[in-house]
Amino acid sequence: MTMETRMIQADIVIIGGGSAGCMAAIRALEVNPDLRVVIFEKGDINYSGSIARGMAGAMTRSLTPRA
């Protein structure tokens, strides 16, 4: 079995694509927009603790008008 190797250059590497990881990346780029920020997420984007799932629930709750 052959594994492909790819090189990525980054100034900041964030492990975990959950809400904290994504907010850290956003903040780093607010401080210095020229940074190269990379986020590594091990889980499936639809079923892990990643931002796509976690923030979908938060956004649904915060954008839904109260009765």
Identify the CA nearest to 43 among candidates 34, 33, 53: 53
Under the banding of pLDDT at 50, 70 and 90, the label for residue 64 is very low
pTM for this model (two decimals): 0.60
Identify the CA nearest to 36 among candidates 25, 47, 45, 46: 25
Q: State the chain's maximal CA–CA distance in angstroms.
A: 57
Render pLDDT for 19-60 as a digit per residue (tens, 0 to 9): 888 889 999 999 999 999 998 887 765 565 555 555 555 544
Query: What are the residues whose beta carbons fall under 8 Å from the beta carbon of 38, sequence distance 6 or more?
Result: 8, 10, 12, 13, 14
- Give the C-alpha separation, 36 to 15, whole Å: 14
